[in-house]
Amino acid sequence: MSTQADARRITAPEIQARKGKDPIVSLTSYHAHTARLLDRHVDVILVGDSLGMVMHGLETTVPVTVEMMIVHGRAVVRGTKRALIVVDLPFGSYEASPTEAFHTAARVLKETGAGAVKLEGGRRMAETVRFLVDRGVPVMGHVGLTPQAINTLGSFKARGRDDAEASLILDDARAIAEAGAFSIVLEAIAEPLARRITEEVASPTIGIGGSPACDGQILVLEDMLGLGDRVPKFVKKYANLGPDIEKAVASYAEEVRARTFPAKEHTYAPRLVDKPAKAS
């Protein structure tokens, strides 16, 4: 019984109950190997549609499909035992109606085994959030800079730096919190606004370029490991693995070309066969 309890996953209601308590630790992951490394240390792993840019070389998240999210979501779930796995609903898969959103979310949860979904948008998505939550789908919200709307926003610049825009983002956060979102990502918004939202909404806030006052923080794993080419201001690099990886690959290439790799210790000797004994 205790072994099963130790392996039990964190749930969306448990994250929701962390409002104003111990900070919620979150990172992105897109495959089983990194998810396995993260699992002991984080509370939430987001299979973000940022995988389109990080893993597939796309310029934005807009082209990402439901099928892509499911493939990566399955891998992350298989690589973990403890963290709550949240999967992004990609652009075009949920905006048309609450019913469309439910069909997409249900498919994602069924086919990945994840514990929640995330969608972008504030007041315009409040009805959809409520529709999903009422039907058993835990929803993480996302306001401020919403990358799926890049074609209308025009750039990835910070949001909420003037009073008018800040008021709209605050209203967005209030709307989806009241609709039942178990947590809300606050991306690239002015620090005083992120602090105010955290103080005023009932749902835990998870900052990414928000405020240290948020109830939790999230970063793209590749960015904080020093693997990204274009790193936003809000990223702190906890490692700089890019140059180390390139150095290792260069050494490997040099040794292969010089025929110094593989060495004897990296190869297999033939199996020795005992010779039959001679008759006396």
Alpha-carbon distance of 86 to 119, in angstroms, equals 10
Distance of CA 45 to the CA centre of its chain: 5
Which distant-in-sequence residues (6+ apart) come within 8 Å of 261 by Cβ? 252, 255
Could you confirm whether 14 is annotated as catalytic?
Answer: no
Exactly one of 187, 191, 254, 265 is catalytic; name it: 187
User: Treating both helix axes as pointing N-terminal to C-terminal, what angle do 98-112 and 126-134 enclose, rounded to 10 degrees?
Assistant: 50
Using CB atoms within 10 A of its CB, is residue 26 exposed (0-12), middle (13-18) or buried (19+)? buried
CA–CA dist 102, 260 (Å, integer): 57
CA 63 to chain centre: 17
User: What ranges in the chain are assigned the alpha helix state H?
Assistant: 2-7, 12-16, 32-38, 51-54, 66-78, 98-112, 126-134, 150-153, 163-179, 191-200, 221-224, 241-257
Q: Shortest CA distance to 46 belongs to which of 1, 2, 81, 77?
A: 77
Report d(CA 276, CA 61) in Å as an integer: 68
Taking the CB of residue 167, how many other CB atoms lie within 10 A of it? 12
Q: Any idea which residues carry the catalytic annotation?
A: 187
